[in-house]
Amino acid sequence: MADAATIAWTPRGSWAGILASGEFGTAGQPGVTIEARDGLGIASLIAGDGRDEALAQALQGHIGLGLPLTPCIVSSARHSLVWAGPDQWHLIAPDRNGFDELLRDLAPLAAISDQSDGRAALRLSGPKVRDTLAKGCMLDLHPSAFPVGTAALTSIAYMGVHLWRIADDPASGDAVFEIMVARSMAGSFWSWLSASAAEFGCKVTATGRG
Amino acid sequence: MRITCPHCGARDVQEFTYLGDANPQRPEGMATTEAAMHDYVYQRDNPAGRHRELWYHSAGCHAWLVVTRDTRTHAIETVETARARAQGDAA
Amino acid sequence: MSAKQPFRRGDGGLIDRASPVSFRFDGRSYQGYAGDTLAAALLANGVRLVGRSFKYHRPRGILSAGPEEPNALVELRSGARREPNTRATVAELYDGLEAQSQNRWPSLDFDILSINSLLAPALTAGFYYKTFMWPAAFWEKLYEPLIRRAAGLGRAAMEEDPDHYEKAFAFCDVLVIGGGPAGISAALAAGRSGARVILCDEDFRPGGRLLADKREIDARAGSEWVADALAELASLPDVRIMTRTTVLGVYDHGIYGAVERVSDHLPLPPVHQPRQRAWRITAKRAVLAAGAIERPVVFAGNDTPGVMLGGAVRTYLNRYAVLPGREAVVFTTGDDGWATARDLTAAGANVAAIVDPRPQVDAALVALGKAIGARVFAGSAVSRASGGKALKQVTIRDASGRETSLACDLLAVSNGWNPTLHLTSHQNTRPVWDEAIQAFVPGTMPAGLSAAGSAAGHFGLAEALVDGARLGSEAAADCGFAAKPLAATAKTDPDAVSISPVWRVKGGKGKAFVDFQNDVTDADVELAAREGFRPVEHLKRYTTLGMATDQGKTSNISGLAIMAEQTGKTIPETGTTIFRPPYTPVAIGALAGHHRGPDFRPMRLAPTHQWSKDLGAVFVETGLWLRGQYYPKPGEDHWLTTVNREVLAVRNGVGICDVSTLGKIDIQGNDAAEFLERVYINGWKALPVGKARYGLMLREDGFVMDDGTTSRLAETHFLMTTTTANAAKVMQHLEYCHQVLWPTLDVRMVSVSEQWAQVAVAGPKAREVLRGVVDAQHDLSNEACPYLAARNITVGGGIPARLFRISFSGELAYELAVPADHGDAMMRALMAAGAPYGITPYGTEALGVMRIEKGHVAGNELNGQTTARDLGLGRMMSAKKDFIGRVMAGREALIETERPALVGFKPVEIGQRLRAGAHFIGLGKPAAMEHDEGYMTSVAYSPVLKHWIGLGLLKNGPKRIGERVRAVDPVRNGDIVLEICNPVFVDPEGARLHG
């Protein structure tokens, strides 16, 4: 009889079998750089009626961030809070260390659902990042319309996405966007993104995780 | 068309799902008659002009919206969240 | 080189003489230059005959030099890239271009169907409606194939298009449509103010008529002014110039559709480049500066190759350095044509005559005519052009009727210009008639759009520049940008805009065409008038005037004018047609963009997908999801063999099946239970924590919407599951209930479908298998974890998991859920743990067989037309609470006993196959609608019972168990006798479930 202890439980991330590190598309200096954001801690937080304030205070205490009340992202060195709909946020951590504990502490103040495994996330930058996104994103991403810190729920190529802009790349000065899509659609999303980025040349950094 | 979601801002109509007339109010409770429910489910005006209608921001923030729109010109007068409106009605 | 291009001028033009280009037309090789259109290069080589007409197969040449071209339509490229009906006048020449004339057989020069010209009396307007009416049976078999062979234009490629297409979205403050003088001025004015500007020009070279006419702005050549302006625009950071981009449509709220022909000017799209890109441009303001389209005159033989619009003649002369003819006659109804005569002479052609119907022509123009040695025919008109495949002669008739014939190879016709206002009517507003310029001009404009220059009917160059600058500034100001003061008005050479149009010249021998592309003549319009098809929309449909791919750009006005003349009305009284998008034809590929083949729509893959793939699963699309349908083993050559094996493995041992695709909704809050009470028909408040329950929800009209199990994970925390197909619909419905109906309830929900990988472990050995993966501290015994238990557990040494003891198969079964990253490992771990029990992966097909064996309803029964009662679930409806659909489900017709209700079926002759969709008819009754008693919803071969079984909705079904009925299936010629039975075929007592 097989024994639980003898069976390997190797996790398999959202981008496994889809993303591989390397370059594709037009050769030369890449116009777009894409980095897999794997292994994140992601949870949806929904405030109860009239409990925004208590939740905001708790978050301030735990992670030092306030709740954004408009479509924005606020970040500390470790955590981010992204607006995810009315009275809803995504709490994001770069890994899952201590994440469950944090969620347990916040549980009395919000409806919390762990979504860490349900999203596939990417970080995009490069001089042609806006031209690439324009091939599917129906939002105006011009700096005047979508400044650093803006977040949006929208759809790209008929797939729901959660999209935001973080601080510009300090080295190149290029805008940096992060995008989350449903895990099940990661393959279709990549099909669209890779086709859209190819003409500009694209460099991919996968995490190599599972 | 573009609809200005009170939460998300102006968005392409492709992000929204249309439901219909926002005016009928659901008759609640065990005492509801079949006639009242019939009107709620089936009776709809079809105005050429100003129309209050329900839209769902399905590809965005999932808010149900009440959009006041001219059906002849597609000009949009106001957009409010159904929740705010319903709570306003209840108050 | 010029020896090979006999009609190319020795110098001048905006072509690149250093870049000669070879191309082929109908198999013959020619040379042109980079910067040519195909039409320009054909004319340079003396090729006049380029196509045959639609109905009469008349020889046709090149009429225009722009997108309005009705005649010079060719098949461009070959093989899979063959593109029919390409306008040679806008197709850019590239090295190796291959084009074929179309609509001719066996050759362009000798076309058999040109005898249609002789049959002309039979082919008049309304011909199809009158001729092919009866007998009806002839239509499909005889008439349609004949008509299809004879008519039509080019041939579409039969192979899949090998090129890639894209969509793209753009935003700006000011969109400028058209890159002529007005458009460039508008873009400059808006751009200088700091506004974000997009300038779209359908041409590959901006400049508009300034490239075609010898004009001066502030004493410099117009083309130099264009070059300077473009350089300045390029220097502005937020100005984008998009050439080869046609704005095709105006939509609500400032949305403009456009197509960019990224690679059409190249032999092949460069690697990683699309052929075309469809743009959706959202602009706060837009300026239409699309120019104008010149109008032909209707006279006999006006379609003869060599009859060309005067403005087009100047385009070929000046922009392309091509002589469209050497011996020319100019026929003009206004001052504009005289400039054509001047340019022709300057280019070395002989202008034999200038024909101007106006009795009084400006003395300066007459002097010009004399100076260039042309005979001037004032007060006269061209009544006929002749020559067959190439113009040889024109007949000129003066006011007294005296005719003069002149030999020539080019007739340049000028009859004034129509503003290119198509986009202004895309929001259902009509153009209005401007008596002064004898043309329709934009009427009520779509919000945010203004028209400048020729597009507004302001044909003077100075006017265009002023218009553009003013409207560009205003548009920018509307977007909050302070306008820079305008420079002093530019000085231009004098304009030639005086016009007295002549719509047709009667009395010439031969056909006089109104609509070249659809072969509609003046006689057809007269016939329509006689037969009462007078309103413009009737005229259009009866004669097909304006219904070709050019949408009547050169013909609508003449048709209206002739109808006006027939009915004694004015043109504005007769009406105008409004235009719909697209302004010019669009390839379907551009509209599809990336979304074709496997990218037609998103495809969703379960977190266990790779595991299924490794096992060689055959996948099936269910909604957007790809699910394992069955898992064939080597040697299994029929799906049913595989499915039977999978079913028996579950019934006798254990199997696993991915159910990650089910919708999962986290529902939390103090009113979560109350909320469920209102959306489900059954009760939820009493459900203990740690228990699952089957739930059914109705639509408000009383019909079933969806079903699934919902578990209470904590006092205020439920996890709802939905069917795979309805997950998004149920989420939308729940949001509706919460936000619109009951906003005061404390309930919060979010989809967690993507977070969890979920597997059904089913069969008598399920518990043993689970024991191998569930951490030891969790008791799985029947006592600790009974039927419908819902538990938070851990697997694989501390991985959080959820275990639900629920069953779709009717066996002892569990659903085990882990965070999706662990889904793949979970399947592999279960396979390892189950190896000693012969664990078998099964797919949706076996799942379906087992649910039918158990009489469980699924999508086929939850079809939007069934009530809970129809499905035998009526007793679930609580009488103690209000819920969505409660009142309407009680309607008299929905509770009528005769209503078809769910029962099982088996064949009386046990070997017979059942078919879903078959209708139930009483024994001995004719198979007719009035004897219809319901229909079969689902069938399966039961490997347990070893015969086919079915579920169906039968009138009064539950009371007829044991009776017989026929299943009639006219689609597949089936008519068999069935026994009506209990819908639960296997283990009706449910002993296995609780084991």
From CA C591, how far away is CA C297, in angstroms rounded? 36
Q: Please answer whether residues C812 and C764 qualify as being in contact, where contact means their C-beta atoms are separated by less than 8 angstroms.
A: yes
Is C264 in contact with C83 (CB distance < 8 Å)?
no
Q: How far is A198 from chain C (nearest CA, A)?
A: 6
| Residue C343: partners with Cβ closer than 8 Å, 6 or more residues away | C214, C313, C314, C317, C318
- Which chain B residue shows the shortest CA-CA distance from C699? B41
Query: Which stretch of DSSP H or E encloses residue C343?
Result: helix C336-346
The angle, 0 to 180 degrees and rounded to 10, between the axes of the packed helices C461-478 and C181-192 is 30
Closest CA to C919 of C961, C958, C870, C952: C952
By the 8 A CB rule, do C14 and C319 touch?
Answer: yes
Q: Rounded CA gap, C606 and C626, in Å?
A: 8
**With bands split at pLDDT 50, 70 and 90, how would you rate the model's confidence at B91?**
very low
**Alpha-carbon distance A135 to nearest alpha carbon in chain C (angstroms):** 4
pLDDT at C152: 58
Q: How confident is the model at residue C534 (pLDDT cuts 50, 70, 90)?
A: very high
d(CA C268, CA C579): 33
**Two tokens at C506?**
């009667």
Rounded CA separation A85/C364 (Å)? 73
Question: C892: nearest CA in chain B?
Answer: B34
Domain extent for C175: 165-292+419-478
Q: HSE (CB half, 13 Å, CA atoms) of C66?
A: 27
- What is the residue whose two structure tokens read 């929900």? C749
- The string of pLDDT tens digits covering residues C479-502 is 999 877 666 678 898 888 889 999
Mean pLDDT over C261-286 rounds to 97
Distance (Å, rounded) from C-alpha C173 to C-alpha C472? 11
Residue of B nearest to A84 (CA): B61
Comparing CB atoms, the residue among C171, C282, C594 nearest residue A195 is C594
What is the CATH T-level fold of the domain A41-114, as seen in this structure? Alpha-Beta Plaits (3.30.70)
Model pLDDT, residue A151: 98
Q: Do C701 and C746 share a domain, yes or no?
A: yes
Alpha-carbon radius of gyration of chain B:
14
Supply the CATH number for residue C541's domain.
1.10.10.1100
- Name the band, by pLDDT with cuts 50, 70 and 90, for residue C577: confident
- B86 CB neighbours in chain C (<8 A) are 739-741, 743
Instruction: Return all residues near C735 (Cβ < 8 A) that are at least 6 apart.
Output: B56, B62, B64, C749
Domain ranges of chain A: 18-38+118-205, 41-114
Token couple for C717: 């925390």
Q: What is the CATH number of the domain that holds C196?
A: 3.50.50.60
Region C539-550: mean pLDDT is: 92
Answer yes or no: do C239 and C311 share one domain: no
Q: How confident is the model at residue C102 (pLDDT cuts 50, 70, 90)?
A: confident
Say whether both C435 and C372 belong to one domain. Answer: no
Strand positions, DSSP E, C796-874 = 799-804, 813-819, 840-841
**Residue in the block written with tokens 């990661």:** A186
* C-beta atoms of C272 and A198 within 8 A: yes
Whether omega for the bond prior to residue C800 falls within 30 degrees of 0, making it cis, is: no
Least confident of A115-119, C918-922, C990-994: C990-994
List Cα–Cα distances, C363 to C341, C359, C369, C459, in angstroms: 15, 12, 10, 22
Q: Provide mean pLDDT across the span C746-759.
A: 97
ipTM: 0.97
Q: Is C103 a domain residue?
A: yes
The whole-number pLDDT of residue C135 equals 62
Q: Which residues of A touch B12 (CB under 8 A)?
A: 138
Is the domain of C425 the same as that of C397?
Answer: no
- Domain assignment of residue C645, yes or no: no
SS3 C342: helix
H helix count then E strand count, chain A: 4, 12
Work out the pLDDT band at C127, boundaries 50, 70, 90. low
Q: Write out chain B residues lying below 8 Å of A153, CB-based.
A: 8, 59-61
Alpha-helix runs per DSSP H in chain A:
52-63, 99-106, 129-133, 186-197
Q: What percent of chain A has pLDDT over 90?
A: 91
The alpha carbon of residue B40 is apart from the nearest alpha carbon of chain A, in Å, by 28
- pLDDT attached to residue C994: 84
- Return the pLDDT at C170: 98
Residues whose CB falls within 8 Å of the CB of residue C469, separated by 6 or more in sequence, listed in order: C185, C186, C188, C189, C486, C487
Token pair, residue C94, equals 């590239």
Please write down the HEC assignment for all residues of C489-516: CCCECCCCCCECCCCECCCCCCCEEEEC
- What tokens were used for C198? 């997009």
Return left, alpha or beta for A23; rule: phi > 0 is left, psi -120 to 50 is alpha, else beta. beta
The predicted model gives C752-772 an average pLDDT of: 97
The tokens describing B43, both together, are 């009776």
The answer to whether the Cβ–Cβ distance between B62 and A85 falls below 8 Å is yes
Domain boundary among C160, C177, C196: C160
For residue C621, is it within any domain?
no
Confidence of residue B3 (pLDDT cuts 50, 70, 90): very high
Q: What is the pLDDT of residues C399-454, one digit of tens each?
A: 999 999 999 999 999 999 999 999 999 998 899 999 999 999 999 999 999 999 99
Measured over the CA atoms of residue C417, residue C418, residue C423 and residue C424, the dihedral's sign is: positive
A159 touching chain C per CB within 8 A: yes
Cβ within 8 Å of residue C571, ≥6 positions away: C433, C557, C560, C561, C564
Give the mean model confidence (pLDDT) for residues A88-106: 96
The reported pLDDT for the residue numbered C897 is: 86
pLDDT of A61 strictly over 80: yes
State both tokens at C494. 């004098």
Among A71, A86, A154, the residue with its CB nearest the CB of B59 is A154
pLDDT(A54) > 70 = yes
A60 Cα to chain C: minimum distance (Å): 22
Q: Which residues contact residue C274 at a Cβ distance below 8 angstroms, ignoring those fewer than 6 apart?
A: A199, C163, C164, C165, C166, C262, C263
pLDDT (mean) for C62-73: 97
- Reference C109, options C61, C49, C25; nearest CA is C49
pLDDT at position A2 = 45
Residue C372 has pLDDT above 70, yes or no: yes
- Chain centre distance of CA C407: 49
The residue among C455, C453, C457, C454 whose CA lies nearest residue C470 is C453
Helix (H) or strand (E) holding C216: strand C216-217
What are the chain C neighbours of A142 within 8 Å (beta carbons)?
171, 196
Q: Which residues of A touch B (CB under 8 A)?
A: 71, 84-86, 88, 138-139, 152-155, 160
Q: Are C380 and C355 found together in one domain?
A: yes
CB contact under 8 A, A117 and C819: yes
Mean pLDDT, chain C, rounded, equals 94
> Does residue C437 sit in the same domain as residue C558?
no
Closest residue in B to A156 (Cα) is B59
A40 touching C (Cβ < 8 Å): no
Please give the pLDDT value at position C126.
67
CA C519 to chain A, closest CA, distance in angstroms equals 41
**CB count, 10 Å around CB of A29?**
10
pLDDT tens figures, C169-207: 999 999 999 999 999 999 999 999 999 999 999 999 999
Nearest CA in chain C to A132: C168
Share of chain C above pLDDT 90, in %: 89
Q: Which of A43, A15, A23 is nearest to A202 (CA)?
A: A23
Which residues fall within 8 angstroms of residue A105, CB to CB, at 6 or more apart? A58, A62
Whether the pLDDT of residue C593 is over 80: the answer is yes
Q: Which of C552, C569, C584 is the last residue of a domain?
A: C584
Answer whether C618's CB lies under 8 Å from C632's CB: yes
Give the Cα separation of C863 and C774 in Å (integer).
Answer: 38
Q: Do B11 and A154 touch (CB under 8 A)?
A: yes
Cβ contacts of C930 within 8 Å, gap of 6 or more: none
**Residue A55 DSSP SS3:** helix
Minimal CA separation from B21 to chain A, in Å: 23
Per-residue pLDDT tens for C2-49? 458 999 999 999 999 999 999 999 999 999 999 999 999 999 999 999
User: What residues pair up with A177 in beta bridges, in sequence order?
Assistant: A124, A165
CATH value at residue C68: 3.10.20.440
Q: State whether residue C650 is helix, strand or coil.
A: helix
Q: C591: buried, middle or exposed (CB in 10 Å: 19+, 13-18, 0-12)?
A: middle
Residues C179 and C119 in one domain: no
Looking at residue C485, what is its pLDDT? 66
For residue B54, the distance in angstroms to the closest alpha carbon of chain A comes to 17
Q: Is the Cβ of A154 closer than 8 Å to some Cβ of chain C? A: no
Cβ contact C736–B19 (<8 Å) = yes
For chain C, the domain total comes to 6
* Residue C969: CA count within 13 A, CB half-sphere: 16
Any chains having at least 3 CB pairs less than 8 A from chain A are: B, C
Structure tokens at C923: 């024994």
Same domain, C280 and C204: yes
Q: How far is CA C507 from CA C300, C628, C967, in A?
A: 8, 75, 72
Residues C396 and C543 in one domain: no
Is position C854 within any domain? Answer: no
Structural domains for chain B: 2-90 (3.30.2270.10)
The reply to whether C67 and C191 lie within a common domain is no
Rounded CA-CA distance C248/C580 in Å is 9
Cβ distance B7 to A152 less than 8 Å, yes or no, reads no
On the question of pLDDT at C943 being above 50, the answer is yes
AA letter at C852 = I
Are B61 and B8 a contacting pair, CB within 8 Å? yes
Bridge-based pairing of strands C748-751 and A41-47 is unpaired
Closest residue in A to B2 (Cα–Cα): A138
The two three-digit tokens of residue A113, written as one number: 């659902």
| For testing contact with chain B, the best of A154, A164, A185 (most B CBs within 10 A) | A154
Rounded average pLDDT over A86-97 = 96
Interface test with B, best of C169, C250, C253 (most B CBs within 10 A): C253
Which residue of B lies nearest to C250 if distances are taken between CA atoms?
Answer: B1
Taking CA atoms, C602 is separated from C299, C475, C685, in Å, by: 56, 39, 38
Same domain, C773 and C902: no
Residues C359 and C434 in one domain: no
If phi > 0 it is left, if psi is from -120 to 50 it is alpha, else beta; for residue C23 that is: beta
Cα–Cα distance, C789 to C780 (Å, whole number): 10
The nearest alpha carbon in chain B to A145 belongs to B9
According to the CATH classification, is domain A18-38+118-205 in 3.30.1360.120?
yes
- List the subunits that have 3+ CB pairs under 8 angstroms with C: A, B
